Structure 1
Amino acid sequence: MRGEQSALAPRGPEAELLHGLTWLLVSGAAVIFLITMVLLLLALSGRDAWKRRLASPRAVLLLGALVPSVVLLALLVHSSGVIATLTRPAPRPLVVEVVGRQFWWEVRYPAQGIVTANEIRLPVGRQVELVVTAPDVVHSLWIPALHGKIDMIPGRENRLRLTAGQPGVMRGQCAEFCGAQHTLMALFAVAEPEADFEAWAERQRAPTIPEGQGREVFGRAGCGACHGIRGTEFAGRIGPDLTLIGTRHSLGAGTLANHRETLAQWIAAPQQVKPGNAMPDFRRILSEAELDAVAQWLEALR
């Protein structure tokens, strides 16, 4: 479940702009702090000549008003230019809707008719417009390698434009306390070449669904009442969509690595793995053989 999660390692043009602005502000603040400390030491040195110079009206006006005003104005102009660049729309961005839920992420591609969870696929070099909201409590989506934070507020849509500059896997996190499992609410942004993204989207629209005991157990246990899988009779919308779940990097929004054993572990005791989530435990409902069959079937959804 590794993925870059650092604002100091930008992986896109928007993140690079923020990275440059951050270092400019930090470096400028450090220089101003050092100059201030030097002047303070000179004032406290006991030399009357320095005290008179620093206390003169000209020094007070220059160091206390003019220099700070010029520096702050320059930073304001530069920051405004960065903000204007960050908010400048590109033609035909890929629209991705992200809904913050307790405690996972629903991800929708409205133009492609795709719904997935806890993972955002991005074509490299194409601007993506994230349209974010939440149904109940406030969340904050933050993928630091790609952009800054954006709040997800019930009853309101916020928008953020970002671009992945190179292929790779980047980790994101909810950055606003949202409840008991706030810390276990991560997601992954997977950037890949345009052709690979289109191939992934095509598999999402027309997935290959294997048969087997796992599918039968999945239906008999009522899993389809909460979870949807395109290409099947399962159309639940309460929990995460499980189409192609076998391709995802994690389970439970970054809680577990995704493979057959952890799938069985999650189905058997999700409240033990991530207390407070909306999924009930199935360890008293399904046998070990049935749990393994469902996990094997879900892992095969690729």
Structure 2
Amino acid sequence: MKVALACILFLSGCAGPQSALDANGPSALALENLIFLFVAVCGIVFVLVMGVMTWALLRRATRPPGGLQTERSMGRVVAGAVVATFAVITFLTAASFYATASLDRAKANPAMIVVRGQQWWWQFTYLDANPAKTFQTANELHIPVGADVRLRLEASDVIHSFWVPNLTGKQDLVPGRENALTLHASRPGVYRGQCAEFCGLQHSHMALLVVAEAPEDYARWLEAQRGAAAAPVDGDAAAGKLVFMSKPCAACHTIRGTEASGTTGPDLTHVGSRSTIGAGLLENTRGSVAAWIADPQTLKPGNNMPLVPVTSEELRQLSAYMRELQ
């Protein structure tokens, strides 16, 4: 049954690296078990209904219609079916309630990461008791393996929905309201997630990656991300920094350690260390970065990044600078 269901979800585009049938966390495992429970119960009900219908058709073909006694027997059968239906629905509702409750584990723990949905990208703010250690990143969420990570979910514009099928279920991000979710990865890996609530033109291009890594690797990543951007050493990158600061880029983006402090777009302090750009749209290569800067509206129509006029030389220098921001 599990193989058959996996094939069905594969054909619908839900299998592969992003699959609710490849659970790697307690919440995802609870939902996976719930899926198989529903399939099993509904399969049994289907077989019983088809069996009773076949028996009734065959019996009617071989026996003449009965009188009052037959009507009473059928009435008891219908009453029994109603009671059985009520029992099955009650059982599945209770199972669904307890599985859904697992999405918000560790309720007493304060939120460690603020997840803010934007059109059409994800902003992650890593909180710390020391404000100097708080930092932001985008579209790539790092968490330690084996620990509950509390997320505070917010939205800036419209309703979004945070969904990483391998680790947990869906939870909405609603403007003006705070929701919460707990992530827990049982083993290291890179898990793809996405927005699961239609949020506009580029809804399908609003993906994210959750990188679950060993606690010591996560600690090193945190320390590196808290630091300011390194000064460029390559000639093109150094020239690209000057271009970045002289163009409107610095008014929309932040690069810590420089004068760029915009908040409209993603924080680019360590953008070169991310796997993708454009919320999963393109692999993070120098060519992709250059293509994005040159014409972001062709690659992702409707996004908030304007077309900034640059020469081919400036484009080459800017892409070099972005790639050095590790």
Give, in whole Å, the separation in 1 of the partners of 2:143 and 2:260: 27
Match of 1:61 in 2: 79
Q: What is the deviation of 1:124?
A: 0.7
Which residue type is aligned with residue 292 of structure 1?
R
* Corresponding position: 1:150 with 2:171: yes
Measured in 1, the distance between the counterparts of 2:121 and 2:71 equals 61
Match for residue 196 of structure 2 among 137, 157, 175: 175
- Identify unmatched segments of 5+ residues in structure 2: 1-15, 233-237
Paired with 2:72 and 2:198, the residues of 1 have a C-alpha distance of 47
Superposition pairs for residues 20-35 of structure 1, below 5 Å? 20-35=33-48
Structure-2 change in CA distance of 1:124 and 1:20 (3 Å): same
1:80 maps to a residue whose letter is: F
Higher RCO (C-alpha 8 Å, min separation 6): 1
Aligned amino acid, residue 298 of structure 1: M
> One-letter code of the match for 2:184?
T
The answer on 1:75 being equivalent to 2:92 is yes
Give yes or no for the alignment of 1:11 onto 2:24. Answer: yes
My pick for the range that moved more, 47-56 or 190-199, is 47-56
Hey, what's the Cα distance between the residues in 1 that align with 2:159 and 2:100?
Answer: 24
**In the alignment, what sits opposite 1:217?**
243
| Distance in 2 of aligned mates of 1:240 and 1:8 | 32
Amino acid in structure 2 at the alignment position of 1:39: V
3-state secondary structure, aligned to 1:156: coil
1:72-112 CA-to-partner distances (Å, cap 9, x unmatched) read: 33333433333344434266466211111111111111224
Structure 2 equivalent of residue 48 of structure 1:
63
Q: For residue 287 of structure 1, what is the aligned residue in structure 2?
A: 311
**Aligned match for 1:121, one of 130, 138, 142:** 142
1:108 is aligned, of 125, 139, 144, to 125
State whether residues 111 and 152 of structure 2, in contact with CA within 8 Å, keep that contact through their aligned partners in structure 1.
no
TM-score (norm 1): 0.91
Q: How does 1:255-274 map to 2 (within 5 A)?
A: 255-274=281-300
1:204 Cα shift? Answer: 1.1
Q: Counterpart of 1:301?
A: 325
* 1:49 Cα deviation after fit: 8.4
Alpha-carbon distance in structure 2 between the residues aligned to 1:260 and 1:291? 10
Describe the SS at the equivalent of 2:266: coil
Aligned-partner Cα distance in 2 for 1:266–1:50: 75
In 2 relative to 1, CA 81–150 (structure 1 residues): closer, same or farther, beyond 3 Å? Answer: closer
Change (3 A) 1:50 1:29: farther
Corresponding residue for residue 130 of structure 1: 151
| CA pair 239-86 structure 1, distance change in 2 beyond 3 A | closer
Alignment partner, residue 236 of structure 1 = 262
Q: Report the Cα distance in structure 2 between the residues aligned to 1:184 and 1:54, rounded to whole angstroms.
A: 60
Instruction: Give the drift of 1:179.
Output: 1.1
* Aligned with 2:208 (options 180, 183, 187): 187
The verdict on how the C-alpha distance between 1:231 and 1:119 changes in structure 2, with shifts beyond 3 A counting, is same
Question: Any idea what SS the aligned residue of 2:263 has?
Answer: coil
Q: Answer 1 or 2: which has greater helix percent.
A: 2
2:219 alignment partner in structure 1: 198
Q: Identity over aligned residues, as a percent? A: 42
Distance 1:59 1:205, change over 3 A: same
SS at match of 1:224: helix
Q: Secondary structure at the match of 1:108?
A: strand
Q: CA deviation at 1:56?
A: 2.9
Q: In the superposition, relative to structure 1, how do residues 83 and 255 fare at CA in structure 2: closer, same or farther (>3 Å)?
A: closer
* Structure 1 stretches lacking a partner, 5+ long: none
Residue of structure 1 in register with 2:253 after alignment: 227
CA contact (8 A) 1:141 1:150 kept: yes
RMSD of Structure 2 on Structure 1 (CA): 2.1
* Conserved? CA contact 1:90–1:127, under 8 Å: no
SS in 2 for 1:56: helix
In 1, Cα distance between the equivalents of 2:85 and 2:116? 43
TM-fit CA distance, 1:123: 0.8
Native 8 Å contact 2:271 2:323 kept in 1: yes
In the TM superposition, what is the alpha-carbon distance from 1:181 to its structure 2 partner? 1.0
Tell me, in whole angstroms, the C-alpha distance in 1 between the residues paired with 2:115 and 2:206. Answer: 13
